[in-house]
Amino acid sequence: MIYLKKAARTAETDQESVREVVTSMLAEIAAGGEETARAYARDLDKWSGDIIVSAADRAAAAALVPAQLKADIQFAHNNVRRFAEAQRGTVTDFAIEILPGLTAGQRQIPVSAAGCYVPGGRYSHVASAIMTITTAKVAGVPHIAACSPPRPGVGIPPAILYAMDLCGADVILSMGGVQGVAAMANGLFGLPKADILVGPGNQYVAEAKRILFGQVGIDMFAGPTDSMVVADATADPEMVAADLVGQAEHGYNSPVWLVTSDRALAEQVMALVPRLIETLPEINRISAQAAWRDFAEVILCGSAEEMAQVSDQFAPEHLHIQAENLDWWLQRLQSYGSLFLGEETTVAFGDKTSGPNHVLPTSGAARYTGGLSVHKFMKTVTWQRATRDAARPLAEATARISRLEGMEGHARSADIRLAKFFPGETFDLSQANGQG
């Protein structure tokens, strides 16, 4: 492979300073509780109003949302809900008789409380409310809290608040950033402590979730959003360029990659992207310019197989194939957060409305995990039950294996059952290799 454009920076650049700030904030909020969280809200969110959004404020927000936007939000919500319901159907309780008299099984139990983070700084991330809250609801989580950054003098933007309410948030907090994450994790403002924290956010939110992991579950370790387009000579260069720019506007450190087998296409796209970026609104333009300049890469490959190998190495969050033989790509590719096949779809569809979740693994994490799903909100737990006759071979083998391992207490918990269930019988319970 040949780099026609190489990134000057990586997503890890400057991460150490973020870690220090977040660690300090989390410790202060854990010690100071609600008052410290409120202080950060006043300082960082510029918000001194109520933290918990009332039912009246939810209704007032809904009244401010235009009918067409409500219909669009409902459209997206229905698609995400239907996909999540189909996911829920793939995980079931079961029981199996492993040997005569020994029955074991699994149950799917939702967590008791979820905390959903909905970004709302530069952009009104209505879709993130839909993706996180809806999925938790379908999973059967009994209590769903959600937080989002309020805007000074306004609060949470009406469209976000409407979406949070529509999707089933039990409690909504006007609080963003690290302080919002910490409030849900620590059970402040009357919330139950979250069992899991989910949702995208900036590097401070992502780092807060990473640090809190263990105290609570999280959806995944998240870095800046990233996207890859894999394109051959049949791709439309203007469409490829538009798709790269559409993802670069997420933030200054959002990598976008083009992997192609056609040098002419690559050169056309590299010429088009800066021109398309110049036409964006100012905030979007500044983010996209920095992302393209510092983080974007263009890689030339010799074949479809080489392109697939490069893609799997990068394990992109979003992977868009604009090439021939889409079925081959679907079967061949192994590492991605979400896959978009053909020019008829685009990452923006997945980000906003099409159904599969847009909370996805970044920074190569797609090598070992998928994105947010109903499964993330559920615990797969196991159980077992045995008759006394089934306990006999289990106890004999357990005792011998335990003694081989040097775990005498384990062995004796098997011995006592044999003595009680089969009095008067003699068993060879020495080490499995026959040495006492």
CA distances from 133 to 125, 127, 384 (A): 13, 10, 33
The three-state (H, E, C) secondary structure of 266-283, written as one string: HHHHHHHHHHHHHCCCHH
Residues 247 and 217: beta-carbon distance below 8 Å: no
Q: Does 117 appear as a known binding residue?
A: yes
Report d(CA 168, CA 373) in Å as an integer: 16
To the query of whether residue 318 is one of the catalytic residues in this protein, the response is yes
* Helix pair 15-40, 177-186: axis angle to 10 deg: 70
What backbone torsions phi and psi does residue 145 show, to the nearest 5 degrees? -100, 150
What backbone torsions phi and psi does residue 341 show, to the nearest 5 degrees? -110, 115
Percentages helix, strand, coil for the chain (3-state, rounded to 5) are 50, 15, 35
Q: Does 87 appear as a known binding residue?
A: no
Q: Does 410 appear as a known binding residue?
A: yes
- Pick the catalytic residue from 77, 125, 207, 318: 318
Q: Does 250 appear as a known binding residue?
A: yes
Q: Which two tokens stand for residue 258?
A: 């083009």
Length of the chain: 436
What backbone torsions phi and psi does residue 14 show, to the nearest 5 degrees? 70, 10
CA distances from 183 to 32, 37, 61, 162 (A): 11, 7, 23, 22
Return the exposure string of 247-269: e unless at least 16 CB atoms fall within 10 Å of the residue's CB, then b: bbbbbbbbbbbbbbbbeebbebb
Residues 37 and 179: beta-carbon distance below 8 Å: yes
**How far is Cα of residue 62 from the mean position of the Cα atoms in its chain?**
28
What backbone torsions phi and psi does residue 39 show, to the nearest 5 degrees? -60, -45
Q: Does 77 appear as a known binding residue?
A: no
Q: How many other CB atoms are found less than 10 A from the CB of residue 75?
A: 12
- Pick the catalytic residue from 207, 249, 317, 320: 317
To the query of whether residue 267 is one of the catalytic residues in this protein, the response is no
Binding site per annotation, positions for Zn(2+)? 247, 250, 351, 410
Binding site per annotation, positions? 117, 179, 202, 247, 250, 351, 410
> Catalytic positions, please?
317-318
